[in-house]
Amino acid sequence: MTDQTERGLARALVIGDGSWGTTLALLLCRNGISTTLWSAFPEQTERLREERVNQAFLPGVALPGEMEFTADPHSAAQGAELVLSVVPTQFLREVAERFEDALPGDLPLVSATKGLEIETFQTPSRILLEVLGERPLCVLTGPSHAEEVARGLPASLVAASADAGLAERVQGAFNSDCLRVYTADDITGAELAAALKNVIALAAGIADGLGLGDNAKAALLTRGMVEMARLGQHMGARPQTFFGLAGFGDLVTTCYSAHSRNRAVGEAVGRGERLEDVLRAMNMVAEGVWTTKALFGPEAELRAVSMPIAEQVHAILFEGTDPRDALLSLMRREPTGEMAGFAEERS
């Protein structure tokens, strides 16, 4: 095992005790970094401390004895050299406010949340900086189902930051024989790709529920990727970011995996189940549902961007459109060029 000094990090804090937050804390501990996992619920903290397993979100995975747990922001932050935020987007602002007085102003943040805030259309990193103040920030994302990563199955992520040194520090903290982390500098693209692929995963699940077959799903993913990159470019991201781990890699995983909550929600809706009933039966968050709502909310920036798949997902989830009618709407659209809608790249 590489020791703490080689990784340049001795102590870390992970905010959020869901499956991915627990997994990231586990990875840091395995790499010899003293890590505290913060939960919003004191009773959950006690269960984690006593049982050494997160039965609610990551059952069957033993948590090391050296991992610490707390529900107190100030004790959680004490001595931390790096803070990871892994809180669902719609709860992130409220949780970040609880840490306003606990985190020093120069303490680096890593955002590992995928989504868009419904009311503001803000990405998780912008919410964090808005609440906690400007500071070094990195986005950690990519194809990464917690159920597999926690078991040590091989995976790759991308650490995106305008601060190359911080991206490399995050890379060093997580790299192992089972996890390879790449660095990048397009934060906007990495976050938008991570959020938007969940919308396409809902569409892929709906296609599965309708039994549309492999050809339709392949076309859906490909055209969905174009929509993601088109919106990303409109918002200042580089289109090529969407064809890397944060976009293409995560899209494939989320649209095909049995672990994917978003795909499963879409499949249930495609079979005719009501969205409200599907969500009520889940104990985890399907971020794609709320990202879809944010895309067409009051702060949406889609007015100049063509996103027909996302539009139909929104119509199915929130406007009562029958999935088969949505399919016909997509198939009967005016013929167009495959890459229409992209602005020319500036040199």
Q: Which residues are catalytic?
A: 197
Pairwise CA distance, residues 95 & 305, whole Å = 32
- Fill in the DSSP letter of residue 108: -
Contact 175, 108 (CB under 8 A): no
Token pair 């955002």: residue: 111
Pairwise CA distance, residues 108 & 3, whole Å = 21
Alpha carbon dihedral 235, 240, 244, 247, in 10-degree steps, equals 30
User: How long is the chain?
Assistant: 347
What is the greatest pairwise CA distance in the chain? 60
Compute φ and ψ for 38, nearest 5 degrees. Answer: -95, 135
> To the nearest 5 percent, what fractions of the chain are helix, strand and coil?
50, 15, 40
Pairwise CA distance, residues 140 & 20, whole Å = 11
